[in-house]
Structures are given as structure tokens and as C-alpha cells.
């Protein structure tokens, strides 16, 4: 199997391991039975033991942070980028030339339109030829393509919840080609915990600012909007998609809750949507379609790679309400990365990801 070491282990490097997604990757990969953690980079913390920064990893991760030059990433089998936008595309060409697979948790390889990327991320894309071959990392939708990929641009946290929440209503495999909903009038009311903003000092995420508070942000336009629209169009197989996406910051650390509103068409008014969703996700290990009438809570997925979905049709009318919860650092980021890595290396998709959610 390409990329597997002689001792049977996958040699993994992580670029940018001091943020929340970086430490979440370390937590998951340190428990993965087929992974050998070999390098983790940080220019500012080079030489510091990882367990000194993150005591939760004492006795589990013996690595020290190293500079990218010292990390010997070209000798890895796969490299995760848990970095700001722009870093992965600067190093992708060299890594791929050395047969190193890439999983990027940032946005460098998500948007296929380089003009859209420049518009939303404020920088030019420096390797459009690599972007052209990159696979979008949402395993439940792109499983077969991910298996063959050299480079995967992992889905964002909000986009994961919205796309998986809507996929059964749009996918021809589920709808039989019928337009069950008005795809031009979709509303996503999404909320995230403060860890979604990253591990950096910002006034908006200080305890005194975020605690006992609730607010919307980026209503004029959020950078995840074009990613979600791109994904929904790909799922539906057409471009008639119109989305209003409003994110909110909630006073919790982990979790995303997306409430999705769609309008049923005449063709969609006599459908059993509970059964539709259950059939669509019946073989998906990380998607739980809850019993009719359920109200999933973010704490029910905390620390796990699971996503829970509930479907409601208030008053039996023409509006369908879909409730979706996930842990933004696991299924919305690092867990999704490990899930895709498993696919890329021919391993069971659930390997290293069977942790039960933490409660309370």
C-alpha cells in the first residue's frame, strides 16, 4: 500500500500544531493504531515539548515542536496543515513531488474558483494546477474520490453541518431527480462555539466578551458561504442554489448547531422525510438521524466525530426544518481530517475515531 512504512505505520507530520485544530489532531492521532507521529512544526515554539504546551498529551506525545526546515516533512507519508490560509499552497508542490499526501484544514484547496478564493480570503492562489486536482474533504459525499486523492482540502466546520443537513434533499440518488425543495431559497441559521475562531487573542472571544452573550456576525457575507454553495451545487448536480447563511457566536467552547429552513415544492409535499434521511445515511458510521421529533444538542457530540440530524415539519406545512449538531473541532475539522486520511490509506474509515461524546 503506497505510503505505509515497513513497520506498517503511517508516518504523519503536522504543520502548525499550536492551535485548537492542531492539538485536536494530536489527541486523535496519538490514539490511532496505524499512525506514527513524526513531526510537528511551530516556528515560535521550536524546541518546546508538545506536552509542555498541552499537558493533556503528557505520556502520549513525546515530540518537540520543530521549525519546518528541521521537520523533514518530505520523509512523511502524509502531512496535515493546521495553519492559516496560504501556508499549505506554499508547500504543496514540494511535498507532492516527494510522494507525500496532503490534508489541509484551511481553505487553500476548498474553493475551485481562484477568483472566488482571492475575493474571500484576500490573497492570490499560487498553485491553481494543484487546486485543480484537489478533492473536497467531505467523506460522506466524496468518499470514492478521497480514496484516490493525493491532496484533500477539508470541508469547513459550518459547511460540514449545512451540506450534510441538506444532502438528502438535493442528491439525485435520494430524490430520484425530483426537485423536492426550492433550492433557490435556503436559509441556514448557524451557531458556533468560540473555539471556531481559533487559538488567538481577540477581544470578541475573551471570556468577559463572549460569556453570557449571543450575537450574529458576518451577515453581509461569510467566507464559508461560497464553499457551502459550491458543495450544494455539486451535490444537487445543478446551479439553482440560493443560500442565506447567518453565523452566530455562542457562549460555549465547542459545538456547532445549524438550523436549516427549506421550502417544499409540490413534488416534495407527500414525501416521508424521516425515512428519506434514514435511508440516505443508513450506512454512514458518523451520521445519526435521530428519531422523529428530536432536538439534538451540541453536548451530545462533544469530543466525537459524530453528527446528529433531526427533521421537523412544523404544522405539516410547506417548510421543512433540519437541525444539525457537530463538534466543530472534530467532525468540523481534525476528526474529518483523520476520517479522510483513513480513506486515503485504505484503512477502516472509523479507525481512531470511535470516541464516545463527552457528557456532561
Q: Which of 76, 127, 157, 340 is catalytic?
A: 157
Tell me the H-state helices in the chain.
20-29, 50-53, 87-97, 114-121, 128-133, 139-147, 157-170, 172-175, 207-210, 224-236, 273-280, 335-344
Count of CB atoms within 10 A of residue 292's CB?
15
Residue 11's φ and ψ, nearest 5 degrees, are -85, 115
Angular region, 208: left φ>0, alpha ψ -120 to 50, beta rest? alpha
Active-site residue 340, yes or no?
no
Closest CA to 88 of 223, 100, 77: 100
In the numeric block, which cell numbers belong to residue 102?
496532503
In the numeric block, which cell numbers belong to residue 92?
504543496
103 beta partners: 80, 152
Active-site annotation, residues:
157
Amino acid at each position: 500500500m503506497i505510503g505505509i512504512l515497513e513497520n506498517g505505520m503511517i508516518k504523519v507530520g503536522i504543520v502548525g500544531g499550536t492551535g485548537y485544530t492542531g492539538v485536536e489532531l494530536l489527541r486523535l492521532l496519538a490514539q490511532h493504531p496505524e499512525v506514527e507521529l513524526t513531526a510537528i512544526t511551530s516556528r515560535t515554539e521550536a524546541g518546546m515539548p508538545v506536552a509542555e504546551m498541552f499537558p493533556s498529551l503528557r505520556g502520549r506525545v513525546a515530540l518537540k515542536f520543530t521549525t519546518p526546515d528541521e521537520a523533514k516533512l518530505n520523509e512523511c507519508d502524509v502531512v496535515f496543515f493546521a495553519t492559516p490560509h496560504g501556508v499549505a499552497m506554499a508547500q504543496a508542490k514540494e511535498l507532492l513531488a516527494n510522494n507525500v499526501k496532503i490534508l489541509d484544514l484551511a481553505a487553500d484547496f476548498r474553493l475551485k474558483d481562484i477568483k472566488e478564493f482571492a475575493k474571500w480570503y484576500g490573497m492570490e492562489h499560487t498553485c491553481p494546477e494543484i487546486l485543480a486536482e484537489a478533492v473536497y474533504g467531505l467523506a460522506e459525499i466524496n468518499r470514492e474520490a478521497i480514496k484516490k486523492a493525493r491532496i484533500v482540502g477539508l470541508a469547513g466546520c459550518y459547511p460540514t453541518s449545512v451540506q450534510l443537513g441538506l444532502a438528502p434533499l438535493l442528491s439525485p440518488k435520494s430524490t430520484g431527480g425530483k426537485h423536492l425543495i426550492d433550492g433557490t431559497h435556503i436559509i441556514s441559521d448557524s451557531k458556533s462555539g468560540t473555539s471556531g475562531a481559533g487559538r488567538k487573542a481577540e477581544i470578541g472571544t475573551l471570556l468577559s466578551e463572549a460569556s453570557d452573550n449571543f450575537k450574529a456576525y458576518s451577515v453581509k457575507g461569510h467566507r464559508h458561504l461560497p464553499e457551502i454553495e459550491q458543495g450544494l451545487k455539486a451535490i444537487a448536480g445543478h446551479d439553482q442554489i440560493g443560500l442565506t447563511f447567518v453565523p452566530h457566536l455562542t457562549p460555549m467552547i465547542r459545538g456547532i448547531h445549524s438550523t436549516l429552513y427549506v421550502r417544499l415544492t409540490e413534488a416534495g409535499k407527500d414525501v416521508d422525510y424521516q425515512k428519506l434521511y434514514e435511508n440516505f445515511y443508513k450506512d454512514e458510521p458518523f451520521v445519526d438521524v435521530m428519531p422523529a421529533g428530536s432536538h439534538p444538542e451540541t453536548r451530545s457530540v462533544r469530543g466525537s466525530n459524530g453528527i446528529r440530524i433531526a427533521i421537523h415539519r412544523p404544522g405539516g406545512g410547506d417548510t421543512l426544518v433540519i437541525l444539525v449538531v457537530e463538534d466543530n473541532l472534530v467532525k468540523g475539522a481534525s476528526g474529518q481530517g483523520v476520517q479522510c486520511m483513513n480513506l486515503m490509506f485504505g484503512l477502516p474509515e472509523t479507525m481512531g475515531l470511535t470516541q464516545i461524546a463527552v457528557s456532561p
